[in-house]
Amino acid sequence: MTNLMQYVVGGVATGSLYALVALGIALLYRSSRVLNFAHGDQATFATFVAFTLMGGGFRFHVNLPFGVAVPVSLIAAAVVGAAFFFLILRPAKEGTLLGKIVMTLGFALLLSGVMQLIWGADTQTFPSPLSVTKVYRLGGIVVSQVDLGTITIGLILMAAMYVLVQRTKVGLAMRAVSQDVVAAQALGIPARKIYAATWGLASALGGAAGILLAPVVYLDPFMMLDPFLKGFAGAVLGGIDSLPGAVLGGFLLGVAEAVFAGYVSFKFKTTLAFAIIILVLLVRPEGLLGRVYHRRV
């Protein structure tokens, strides 16, 4: 029983990262029906910006403290996300949905190339106030400081997102635009600004996940590839048009992976996410908390 609880705690820590990524994916899909394949690269870019602001891996050294560098990097991520919408997606408003998705894929490749050009492809050690080696014991369960911090910060960010979407005027505008953009514009809601804010917010969420992950897996231009795929799987599992569903799916996937690795096979835990995607699409395509849409013809 102790081993199971240990696996669950580790899975919750990993699942909180998946949930942050899934939340950003679901936020964009819910508002614009676009799957952003650049989400992971935007997160990596934000992590590299924080790394540079703290004095690492670049031609000049700023040496800002962690508490200042991280918010600045998240703002930078939000600016990149909003700029992508304004400069690329908005001019292509008459394009097909598939075309817009391909644009996000092209943007991902562009960002990856820029990061390799600026920072190189070698792995870097990301400085963090949270220690990987310092642990806390809760009965027979061992929790590292970085895992505890990841869970806590992840939950705080998810709660903040809930308050923003459900309790503020900006969140109300986001929900209105996602339901009917024409009606929202008729009511005076600036839809383009809301779309840009949504893209920026989703990019910042991904950046937060990258910054929490970097101290554990080391920093390189491809570090978010696997978490992005897992976050996408979590969003599909919970319901890609449901923000609570995306969070639930991320946590469930993290726990399922940890238990699977502990009791079945560590080598094949990566394939579990894709097996879950296939199973969910066959049994319940809308996800655990997703809604079934009926189209009248």
CATH 3.40.630 for domain 2-283: no
pLDDT for 295 equals 45
pLDDT for 163 equals 93
pLDDT for 235 equals 92
pLDDT in tens, 109-141: 999 999 999 998 888 889 888 887 888 888 778
How big is the CA angle at 295 (ends 293 and 297), to the nearest 5 degrees? Answer: 170
Q: Where are the domains of the chain?
A: 2-283
pLDDT for 102 equals 92
Average pLDDT over the chain, rounded to an integer: 89
Which residues have C-beta within 8 Å of that of residue 57, sequence separation ≥ 6? 48, 51, 119, 120, 124
> Global pTM?
0.92
Answer yes or no: is pLDDT of 61 > 70.
no
Answer yes or no: is pLDDT of 297 > 50.
no
Question: Hey, which bits of the chain come out as E strands?
Answer: 135-138, 141-144
pLDDT for 57 equals 67
DSSP 8-state code for residue 243: H
Say how far apart CA 1 and CA 109 lie, in whole Å: 45
pLDDT in tens, 164-213: 999 999 999 999 998 888 899 888 999 999 999 999 999 999 999 999 99
pLDDT for 179 equals 86
pLDDT for 218 equals 85
pLDDT for 60 equals 62
Answer yes or no: is pLDDT of 95 > 80.
no
Using a 10 angstrom Cβ sphere, with 0-12 exposed, 13-18 middle and 19 or more buried, the burial of residue 240 is buried
